[in-house]
Amino acid sequence: MKISFLPLLIFFSVSVSAQQNPTDVDKSPMDMCYWPANYPILKMSGKITSPPVARVIYSRPQKAGRDIFGGIVGYGQVWRLGANEATEIEFFKPVKINGKTVPKGRYTLYAVCNADKWTIIVNSDKDVWGLAYNQKKDVLRADFPVQKNDDAIEVLTMYFNSEKNTASLNILWDNTKVVIPLTD
């Protein structure tokens, strides 16, 4: 009986050693933000029963001493707003961005960055790795001014500020901040 477990034990040991170490962290880990902020916690505590208005899923690249805007993110070029997979935004009901309605659905979010403004692009393509951008699938393009931060932000960060039927998606990295107002 003891001998029959030996091949299973050897197989299990080899299988475990071949897997990636779970403590190895990707340099661009994924993150998620909601409108309303902290939606999962609010839902679990029973403080909210309706679906969120929006959710953003993105990878968080690090500055790591590099020049970001005008450097690794070239001015005038389409950027996937993160690392690895292109950033996705999901609207659980129609929203307005710059007075234009974006229907309920899941989209890819891109930006064309310049020193003074960003063009934010909502695109209907989904599950995009890297920059496989197709302009024909743009749902919306809108320009937003660039604000400068006093302190450099090391890791790309996105979050929503919200009040009742309005919110702002804040995008911060390095010394740059862009705010995208939304209404439902």
Residue 179 belongs to some domain of the structure: yes
Residue 59 lies in a domain: yes
Q: Classify residue 1: in a domain, yes or no.
A: no
Residue 4 contacts by C-beta under 8 Å, 6 or more apart in sequence? none
How far is 23 from 99, CA to CA, in rounded Å?
45
Tokens of 127: 């599950």
The answer as to whether 126 is a domain residue is yes
The number of beta carbons lying within 10 Å of the beta carbon of residue 152 is 12
Q: Report the alpha-carbon distance of residue 85 to residue 178 in Å, rounded.
A: 21
What confidence score (pLDDT) does residue 24 get?
56
Q: What is the pLDDT of residues 35-52, one digit of tens each?
A: 988 888 888 999 988 889
pLDDT of residue 132: 86
The answer to whether residue 67 sits within a structural domain is yes
Residue ranges making up the domain that contains 159: 31-183
Task: Quickly list DSSP for 56-92.
Answer: EEEE--B-TT--TBTTTB-TTSEE-SSSSBPPEEEES
Residue 7 lies in a domain: no
Whether the full predicted model's pTM is greater than 0.85, yes or no, is: no
Does residue 104 lie in a domain region? Answer: yes
Structure tokens at 109: 């979010």
Return the sign of the alpha-carbon dihedral for residues 48, 102, 169, 156: positive
Give a yes or no: residue 21 inside a domain: no
Contact of 178 with 171, CB cutoff 8 Å? yes
Q: If you write DSSP's letter for every residue of 138-178 in order, what string do you get?
A: EEEEEEEEEEEEEEEEEEEEEEEEEETTEEEEEEEEEEEEE
Domain count, the chain: 1
- What pLDDT score was predicted for residue 25? 52
What does the mean pLDDT of the chain come to? 86
Encode the chain (184 residues) as per-residue pLDDT tens digits.
555 554 444 444 444 444 454 545 566 688 888 898 888 888 899 998 888 999 999 999 999 999 999 999 999 999 999 998 899 999 999 999 999 999 999 999 999 999 999 999 999 999 888 778 999 999 999 999 999 988 899 999 999 998 888 999 999 999 999 999 999 8
Give the separation between CA 179 and CA 160, rounded to whole angstroms. Answer: 9
C-alpha–C-alpha distance, residues 68 and 7, integer Å: 53
Q: Give per-residue pLDDT as tens, 78-92.
A: 999 999 889 999 999
pLDDT score, position 164: 80
